[in-house]
Structure 1
Amino acid sequence: MHVRTSAIVLSVRAHGEHGAIVRALTPDDGVQPGYVPGGHGRRLRPVLQPANIVLGEWRSRTAEALPALTVELIHSRAPLYGEPLAAAALDWTTALTAAALPDAQPYPQLFQGLSGVLDAIEAAPGARGWAGAVVRYELLLLAELGFGLDMARCVVTGTSDDLTHVSPRSGAAVSRAAATGYEAKLLPLPSFLTAGGTPDPAAIIDGLRLTGHFLARDLLHGRAADALAARARLVERLARALG
């Protein structure tokens, strides 16, 4: 097994006295794990910061063995970890990707989606510039893993107009007319997810509530549920920042 490509660092776990097991998302080969000698040491720790872009080279003699991984830094996002809100967004998007995706399965759209979200966080100091992109990435990940929401038409009437809610059971959209009287049992569907545009703070929070329900129910359970702690930190900080 030999893979050499750029990759986004997703997670780093200490292994042994100085080594680390790293999982990184590649453009064409999905999530690739590897053992980095010295990866937990002072020299490589800044390189292996989650959300950094590295040039990785994975080598193993058999498909079953954990590959040895060497890395070179291409682009560092480490300075963003000095900003609590941006740091929470980086922590969550990389933790979600690491927890949800199986190893060695190609997800080129998710690679592009995660790259776009991380670029947006880096480019825009305020949450309004990237929070909507986080919600859209969560929806993309759900769809790529077979848990996509049906937001094209109302599950009750079949109309594609004035869709305002989503059923928490089926993940299908519900129109305003069909939702009347049942709003408390449904999840709000913010319009930026169907019509585009820049979301206002209330729409961002509604979007996070929507995707969070399905992420917790369908993807992040068992050991993967630990990733939800990173999401809780992000949602709390976003709520304060957006006021």
Structure 2
Amino acid sequence: MAVLTAEAIVCAVRAHGEHGAILRALTQQAGLVAGYVRGGRSRRLRPILVPGNAIALELRARTEDQLGGATAELLTSRAPLLAEPLAAAAIDWVTSLTAATLPEGQPYPALYVALAAVLDAIGVAPSARQWAAALARYELLLLAELGFGLNLEECVATGSAEDLAFVSPKSGGAVSIGAAAGYEERLFRLPPFLRGQSGDPSTGDVLDALAITGHFLDRDVLDGRNRALLTSRERLVARLGRAVA
């Protein structure tokens, strides 16, 4: 019998049977894993199995192909944040995105660390603009980890690393000011913080970054298939635009 014991982040919970639930959670060692939690819909376990919560997970399965049985103990509760509509929408989006796009059983340690950082930022950042910047970085990393990374280090037209200011919606490559001349309206503006430059990103920077990552998530990862998930992101970005303006 295979046994996995790890800290994990709850990403999705679905009712199963009369009292149970199927849990999907992201671990650092094993990536996204799924398990059946007996009594997962009980009064005791419902506050633990909340997307965004950090848990101590134990997963037992007889074979690799079998859905294992899972137990969970609460490590960090982010349930209080769900009382804030904007924070709740962000947690719902980032955990749902993770559950919907990552293959099960494949380690993504950088994504685990980044997801935990985004959730922490939602809880402690002094403004929505700052945690929204962390969210954009997470989406950019997820694209890269799934094989759809953007080249923001050099101009896709000239190969130069100087004066990078735009991103091509077709190639996902950066475009310099000179190469973009006359085509600026067809390109995304490249916020400096997406290239690792220090400083507090502006409202415009954050919204520009989310426009970039949203475009490529839709095209390359979600492929327009999960319309409900994409619609929830559109609502989140619209609310962020009003909140950080």
TM range (shorter): over 0.9
Match of 1:92 in 2: 93
Match of 1:191 in 2: 192
* Paired AA for residue 73 in structure 1: L
SS of equivalent to 2:64 = coil
> Is there any run of 5+ residues in structure 2 with no aligned partner, and where?
none
Q: 1:102-126 CA distances to partner (integer Å, 9 max, x unpaired)? A: 0000000000110111111111242
Matched, 1:121 2:122: yes
Q: How does 1:31-50 map to 2 (within 5 A)?
A: 31-50=32-51
Match of 1:215 in 2: 217
Contact 1:100 1:224 in 2 (8 A): no
Match of 1:139 in 2: 140
* Paired AA for residue 136 in structure 1: R
TM-score by length of 2: 0.96
After TM superposition, the structure 1 stretch with the greater mean CA deviation from structure 2, 150-159 or 229-238, is 229-238
Match of 2:239 in 1: 237
Match of 2:174 in 1: 173
Q: 1:187-211 CA distances to partner (integer Å, 9 max, x unpaired)? A: 1111111223221001111000000
Contact 2:168 2:175 in 1 (8 A): yes
SS of equivalent to 1:110 = helix
Match of 1:150 in 2: 151
Q: 1:132-156 CA distances to partner (integer Å, 9 max, x unpaired)? A: 1100110000001110000001111
> Is there any run of 5+ residues in structure 1 with no aligned partner, and where?
none
Q: 1:149-187 CA distances to partner (integer Å, 9 max, x unpaired)? A: 000011112211111111111111000111111112111
Match of 2:106 in 1: 105
After TM superposition, the structure 1 stretch with the greater mean CA deviation from structure 2, 198-207 or 186-195, is 186-195
Contact 2:218 2:224 in 1 (8 A): no
Q: 1:57-77 CA distances to partner (integer Å, 9 max, x unpaired)? A: 101111111000011111100
* Paired AA for residue 87 in structure 1: A
Length, aligned pairs only: 243
Match of 2:68 in 1: 67
Match of 1:201 in 2: 203
Contact 1:216 1:225 in 2 (8 A): no
Match of 2:228 in 1: 226
Q: Are residues 61 and 222 of structure 1, via their aligned partners in 2, closer, same or farther at CA, if it must alter by over 3 Å?
A: farther
Contact 1:5 1:56 in 2 (8 A): yes
After TM superposition, the structure 1 stretch with the greater mean CA deviation from structure 2, 220-229 or 100-109, is 220-229
* Paired AA for residue 175 in structure 1: S
* Paired AA for residue 240 in structure 1: R
TM-score by length of 1: 0.96
